[in-house]
Structure 1
């Protein structure tokens, strides 16, 4: 990973937006990040680490605490980093949680943390990989770089005060880092995969044995021999039951057919009876049908004269309605005449009121002459009031500024005294932080030791249980083996006795061929004769006991391995903790908590110190600002007094021009408004009265014309009504109806007529159908007799019961036979599978033990590979350390593993040529530790680069540490870094050592000020061009 461009905005001490273009430093530069203490040199590394992982290099502060106090409120804190990975380029942007002004309205809101990741492929629009999720961006960065944030701090960045972490890391932590860097996870995967496959095979064998027992229990048999015997006994019984079931089923089928025939014949007799009853009922409805036919005929006659009746009724109703309308028209004419008279009177009144408009217009003209002068007077008074308020305000501001000057001076003296106290208290912060880190490691190891001891107790109990089961299986196997041996001997003895009984004197023996038989075998009198079947059972029992013993043995071995591994882990931690291993966890935790509380207190003191420092600077700036304001306010007071005098003179001059009665603008405006309203009201009233009179006159004319038209319509309608009445009376007299009521009762709707027609047609159709069906059934049943259904049903019931008994007996035997045969097939399959599993375990189990360090020297596959890689790293590191230490020190791996502990395989030692002895790296001094840590980081960078598949370490940042070196060692360290740079690495050094600034021309200078720090990139060649 190589950084290309870094943008810091309101981050750390940088109040504004600062940019670092690393390309201006050249290709693979060795450069210095220089600046005074507290300017923000380490904040550049914090920004790079925060952009990638969302955490700072020291992990003491989170993103929300990195906001600059000097930054503008509307300037968001954010970091943008462009970096390259091989041939690809990426950009990541992070915004920490922070308080910002609201987009709308007043007040502030909390900005949620965000992160975006792009791949810059050269196109106008970059490829967005992560839109906003902080977690997704961190995960993808870890996958791209192949390093976690902790590993990044130990390999790419050596933060201030933490450069010794990789050097002092224990074997477990170093194994995790190296496996990540060299991508050796495949070896660990092989270990786990073999271990998992071995466990799967062991579990499968155990499951198979348990499955065999369960399957035999399902069949309620004790062994496979009993299973075979029961199958042989069951076969003839099942054949006999099948034959009985077939006979009973055929008898039941014949009885069922006989019952169905009897039921069908009985149903035909029942149908004949029902149809005869239905025919009689249908014939009884004939008179009703005849009556409905007569009603239908009358309805047809009434329908013919119905139109004449409708015309007669319609004309009579129309004539009555018209008479009502004529009466209403006469009343409307009377009402319209009265309305016209009232409108005429209103018109005369409105004309009298309109004569007053001339006088009101004259008065309105006079009042308008004062309007302009009143407005000028009002304006002058407003100016006077404003000048009076400004004069009072400027005087008040002047007095407040003078008071604030005194308060600021007092506060400045108090803050400076407090700052002196806080600075004295902060001297203990760094030692306490170092002590806290050391105590945290001790507490974590002691907690882990406590957990391991608890797990050991559980494993010991499990070991006891497993050992007891193994002893039990061993006893059972010995007993079964002894029983099998005794059975074999008895069987052979029985066979010898049987052969001896068949020999005659002088005949050769079938076994040895001898014709003399001095001591013939005799059968035992008190022992039962052992058959081949007994011998087979004894051998099967021995095989089962042997398989169970092998499973118990494998389980016991696994338990031993787990317990031994746990003991090794406990011993390793006890050596690391030494005296703390016997100390209570509570006491260790209390010690950690006490130091942690002190560090938190001192951290708060540090925050208070920064806050007080900023406050003192703010007070001084404010004091200077207020001093300038006092001078400006004094001049403002004098100006406001002069303006107030001029405004007073202008008001008095205008009051002389306007009478006092009209000086109030509201009074004058109201009087003018009243006059204007009266004029407008009189005009509106006159117009309305004229409109009402015209409308009422027109209404009277319309009502008179309507009345005349209705009278003409009445005469025509009387003639039509007379003709319609005459036509109806003639039709009624000529028809079969003597009265109107008889005519109305005969009327039927079309639906009613259709319903009656359908009823008559349906009756005739159903009557004919019933007569035909009855005749057919009588003919069909003429020679038949009604069967006895009770007798037929009883016969079927008897046959069904016989079949049920036979079927039940057959099903019991069939199910038992199927179960036993199925179990035999399952047992055969399980035995075959178990044999295959034993063959697989012979290979997989052995490989798993070797790869996981269970056998031999107890070295796992991955640790073996990493030890070789660490040796390569230490060769490169020792070459550089030997140069920087002037030939005194070399690094090497500790080869002797105390008590065969696996975790010791990656421990480091330093070889001291002055004493010709090796000792732990923790014994090195501060400057020596820095040189060793730097050498280890550089050697690691070289070796990782040389291995295909490893992570590319193109960049290295070193934060401080050079101040602990003497001038000669410093020169040697710089030469070593220059050699590393020549191999294609970017190296950045953070230091305020003067000698480094003189030797290194490529620099990033960080300058501090009261408004915040700023960044300048220095490259003499680039700046010159």
Structure 2
């Protein structure tokens, strides 16, 4: 991948749009990016990563990317143009952010956007032709990852090498190094395999446990089914959980013995059941005969008693027969009596209606005849006709009243508006003077803000120096303490080394004697005879003990010297910071800085009022002219309203006098018409009621004559007598049914007493049914108990056979499962590194990663030997670590000057930098090959050069310069001044109060 151009705006510290031409910077193969702390050098790398992957390195959230310096109308945006796999692409991303509304009122949330385009040649004017590839976030992510062959984490490790990430991998523990390598090389599949093996072992173990539980469950079922008496009679003991895996035949023999005892118990229960059933059959036949005799005796007694009671009711039923005959004769004249009652009811109802209708008439009309009421109704109808002719005058009067009310309201509003505008114009001069004074105050605030802004940078520099001074004071104290402790450690290690050396010299005779052999000359005296050779005392130090003590002393001495150099450097930096701070206290400078910032902020707020104040003054002048015109217009409208009010009032008085006579005190014509209409309707209802009374009286007379003729023929003297003899239909049917039931019951009970079987049973001795049933119940209980015992024993035998079959199958399943679990557990322990056969305790993924780490170390050494002048070589070690640590991912460094291997944590600051840089470059090569062999033409290195001496720096730069032979471009970020002389192609990031800017330079400036 090769970067061509990068453009960003409102991103991080960059307020305005900044463009970076990587093609120009890459011409030399190596370029330098420098600038003040906080200017935004690392933000350029963030922008590259954000353009490609939609997020920045590390843990910062993309919503924090928007520049605080940016204008609200400027969108945060990043545009990157790059080439990969023969394609030239351009990607533009805009994060989610708050932007100013188009109408200028507040802000609105703008959603994140992205677009990917590909260049397809140029047009006729030489302009690039871009065709869209995608505008969807997920599609763009898949396209970028497919092109680069790596995810964001891999990209940041291979292309963007940020501050401090080199040495972190170099000094990491094996577990942390495994995490990084696993993410870069995608070895999670081996971790998944190991996890699968562990899960498989757990599953096979679970299957063994399940199978074992099933066997034990079948044994428990056999014991529960057989019962304690049967199982206790078996000589073989019941199998247990501890013995089930190894005593399968014994378990089956015990189960067969239990079943044999259960079969014997079933044969005894079957014989007892046959005897009980024979006895029950005899008792059942005898009880049936006793029940039949008792039932016949009961029927005979019941019939005799009932017949006696029926014969005692004969007089009452004779009276009932007479009542039924009178009711049947009265039923013949029921329709005529009903018609007479209906006619009388209608006559009374008509008379009541006439009385009610007359009460609604006027007092002078309540006794009038039908003819008089008719004449009064005609006169009212004539009055209603005259009222209809006056409805137009009434409507016009109402319209005039409404118009006058509206005129009054409009006149009052116009007069109020006239007074309000007049008052506002009287105060206009005073208000305009206030606007002018506000504009003058804003201009003065702007002048003061500019003066204060010019003084703030110097105050900020003093405050930064004071803070650095305070920080260094603590660091100097700690460094002094570290030096003191390290000096004590040097003295202690030197004394320890001398003591071991002295002890070894003192016991050298014993050490030499240990090398003597019979008949061989002594190394000291040359004699082949050794009569009294010296012996080595207990705890005598060896040559290796002496070497280790000496090495510990050298390391302590070097650490002390390094700490003393750090103390000198920190002391010098503290003195410089004290001079820059001018000896002032940090708290005072902070207070002055906060006060100046707050004052500047308040002045800017006050100065910003100039624009709205001018706008409000212009609007005030326009309003004043408008209101002057409105005041004249209102005066003309008031005069027009007064003239119209006078004309309409005169017309209203004429119409009011004309209507007063016709209304006769009513408020409106409608109300008067309603009164006359109601009076006419009352007259009509009274006349109709009088006519209805005459009709009802004629009907009543005709019904009375018809009833008088028919009741005599039916045998009744008066209509009241016939009405009294009437029986309701339901009651008549009930009494007739009662009579028929009495007669039927007599005949039934007489026939029952004449039955010969019942008569014979009544003559016999009373049946003892209770004794027969008790004997039958006892026999039934005996038979049921025997049946339950036989069924229980039979079911027990059948169930035991089923349990024995289940036990046989369960034991057959358990054996192969135990063997399978043993193999699975052994493989899982090997893959996890916990098996005793895994000597290095190396898990499967670490074994794979160890091979990758060897490749990384080989790739790193091609540059490390050059950077260290042939002194250091990185090597991978699979030595087992102490405690519970795993082996396989260790790194150590060989010092070829001494031939000794060292732990990577013992390297000095500069050595750690170039060693970790070589490791990072080697890691980048191997990861690039692992990611599909993608050609990575651009590499960025962020800081770390300040820890190198001049000679080592030269070696490192030569190695970086040689990367050009691999068609790579390297961008270096550093504050080291010497790099500005050594690297001609540079890009400077400058920070200011208005945000940072980028400036490219073809050659380094002179210093």
Structure-2 residue corresponding to 1:857: 839
Q: Judge conservation of contact 1:118–1:126 (CA < 8 Å) in 2.
A: yes
1:233-277 C-alpha deviation (Å, 9 max, x unpaired)? 453333122221244245446645765676577567767877888
What is the CA-CA distance between 1:875 and the residue it aligns to? 1.9
SS in 1 for 2:361: helix
Query: Do structure 1's residue 321 and structure 2's residue 364 form an aligned pair?
Result: no
What is the CA-CA distance between 1:42 and the residue it aligns to? 1.8
Q: Which one of 178, 182, 186 corresponds to residue 185 of structure 2? A: 182
What is the CA-CA distance between 1:160 and the residue it aligns to? 1.9
Q: Judge conservation of contact 1:146–1:181 (CA < 8 Å) in 2.
A: no
Structure-2 residue corresponding to 1:243: 271
Query: Do structure 1's residue 727 and structure 2's residue 702 form an aligned pair?
Result: yes
Q: Judge conservation of contact 2:10–2:17 (CA < 8 Å) in 1.
A: yes
Q: 1:998 to 1:615 in 2, by over 3 A?
A: farther
Q: 1:682 to 1:128 in 2, by over 3 A?
A: farther
SS in 2 for 1:905: coil
Q: 1:67 to 1:797 in 2, by over 3 A?
A: same
Q: Which one of 168, 173, 176 corresponds to residue 176 of structure 2? A: 173
1:742-786 C-alpha deviation (Å, 9 max, x unpaired)? 6766788xxx63675477569858976996798589759548748
Structure-1 residue corresponding to 2:43: 43
Query: What's the RMSD between the two structures over aligned residues?
Result: 7.1
Give distance in 2, aligned partners of 1:795 and 1:869.
97
SS in 2 for 1:1012: coil
1:687-729 C-alpha deviation (Å, 9 max, x unpaired)? 7636624668767875786577567646644542342122121
Q: 1:629 to 1:304 in 2, by over 3 A?
A: closer
Q: Give matches, 1:332-731, under 5 Å.
A: 379=421, 381-395=423-437, 398=440, 417=459, 420-426=462-468, 682=653, 685-686=656-657, 689=660, 692-693=663-664, 709=684, 713=688, 716-731=691-706
TM-score by length of 2: 0.59
Give distance in 2, aligned partners of 1:913 and 1:101.
65
Q: Give matches, 1:185-224, under 5 Å.
A: 185-198=188-201, 215=219, 222-223=237-238
SS in 2 for 1:163: helix
Give distance in 2, aligned partners of 1:902 and 1:705.
119
Structure-2 residue corresponding to 1:929: 912
Q: Judge conservation of contact 1:102–1:108 (CA < 8 Å) in 2.
A: yes
Give distance in 1, aligned partners of 2:8 and 2:839.
53
Give distance in 2, aligned partners of 1:979 and 1:261.
125
What is the CA-CA distance between 1:176 and the residue it aligns to? 2.1
Give distance in 2, aligned partners of 1:8 and 1:147.
24
Structure-2 residue corresponding to 1:69: 68
Q: 1:722 to 1:190 in 2, by over 3 A?
A: closer
Q: 1:607 to 1:1001 in 2, by over 3 A?
A: farther
Give distance in 1, aligned partners of 2:463 and 2:957.
40
Structure-2 residue corresponding to 1:840: 820
Query: Do structure 1's residue 158 and structure 2's residue 161 form an aligned pair?
Result: yes
Give distance in 1, aligned partners of 2:1001 and 2:877.
45
Give distance in 1, aligned partners of 2:970 and 2:591.
35
Give distance in 2, aligned partners of 1:625 and 1:680.
67
Q: 1:799 to 1:1002 in 2, by over 3 A?
A: farther
Give distance in 2, aligned partners of 1:292 and 1:1001.
142
Q: Judge conservation of contact 1:412–1:619 (CA < 8 Å) in 2.
A: no
Q: Judge conservation of contact 2:30–2:971 (CA < 8 Å) in 1.
A: yes
Give distance in 2, aligned partners of 1:990 and 1:639.
55
Q: Judge conservation of contact 2:190–2:844 (CA < 8 Å) in 1.
A: yes
Give distance in 2, aligned partners of 1:253 and 1:841.
64
Structure-1 residue corresponding to 2:484: none
Q: Judge conservation of contact 1:181–1:944 (CA < 8 Å) in 2.
A: yes
Q: 1:741 to 1:76 in 2, by over 3 A?
A: farther
Structure-1 residue corresponding to 2:860: 877
Query: Do structure 1's residue 918 and structure 2's residue 889 form an aligned pair?
Result: no
Give distance in 2, aligned partners of 1:105 and 1:776.
114
Give distance in 1, aligned partners of 2:17 and 2:756.
114
Structure-1 residue corresponding to 2:573: none
Q: Give matches, 1:110-129, under 5 Å.
A: none
Q: Which one of 750, 759, 776 corresponds to residue 796 of structure 1? A: 776
Give distance in 2, aligned partners of 1:724 and 1:902.
126
SS in 1 for 2:892: strand
Q: 1:129 to 1:636 in 2, by over 3 A?
A: closer
Structure-1 residue corresponding to 2:729: 753
1:357-407 C-alpha deviation (Å, 9 max, x unpaired)? 9xxx9xx99xx9x99999889755532312122224534664687589779
Q: 1:36 to 1:810 in 2, by over 3 A?
A: same
Structure-2 residue corresponding to 1:474: none
Structure-1 residue corresponding to 2:958: 972
SS in 1 for 2:886: helix
What is the CA-CA distance between 1:93 and the residue it aligns to? 7.8
What is the CA-CA distance between 1:850 and the residue it aligns to? 3.6
Q: Judge conservation of contact 2:116–2:132 (CA < 8 Å) in 1.
A: no
What is the CA-CA distance between 1:730 and the residue it aligns to? 0.8
SS in 1 for 2:783: helix
SS in 1 for 2:864: helix
Q: Which one of 286, 298, 301 corresponds to residue 333 of structure 2? A: 301
Bigger drift between 113-122 and 199-208 goes to: 113-122
Unpaired segments ≥5 residues, structure 1 = 131-136, 437-574, 580-604, 658-662, 1020-1025
What is the CA-CA distance between 1:126 and the residue it aligns to? 6.2
Q: Judge conservation of contact 2:463–2:586 (CA < 8 Å) in 1.
A: no
1:886-921 C-alpha deviation (Å, 9 max, x unpaired)? 554432202443569762421112334444443233
Bigger drift between 181-190 and 869-878 goes to: 181-190
Q: Judge conservation of contact 1:95–1:114 (CA < 8 Å) in 2.
A: yes
SS in 1 for 2:68: coil
1:539-559 C-alpha deviation (Å, 9 max, x unpaired)? xxxxxxxxxxxxxxxxxxxxx
What is the CA-CA distance between 1:630 and the residue it aligns to? 9.4
Q: 1:739 to 1:102 in 2, by over 3 A?
A: farther
Q: 1:625 to 1:199 in 2, by over 3 A?
A: closer
Give distance in 2, aligned partners of 1:762 and 1:123.
106
Q: Judge conservation of contact 2:300–2:758 (CA < 8 Å) in 1.
A: no
Q: Judge conservation of contact 1:8–1:78 (CA < 8 Å) in 2.
A: yes
Give distance in 1, aligned partners of 2:477 and 2:111.
35
Q: Judge conservation of contact 1:269–1:781 (CA < 8 Å) in 2.
A: no
TM-score by length of 1: 0.58
SS in 1 for 2:165: coil
Bigger drift between 970-979 and 618-627 goes to: 618-627
Alignment: residue pair count? 803
Structure-1 residue corresponding to 2:561: none
What is the CA-CA distance between 1:868 and the residue it aligns to? 1.6
Q: Judge conservation of contact 1:18–1:1015 (CA < 8 Å) in 2.
A: yes
Q: 1:823 to 1:328 in 2, by over 3 A?
A: closer
Q: 1:281 to 1:399 in 2, by over 3 A?
A: farther
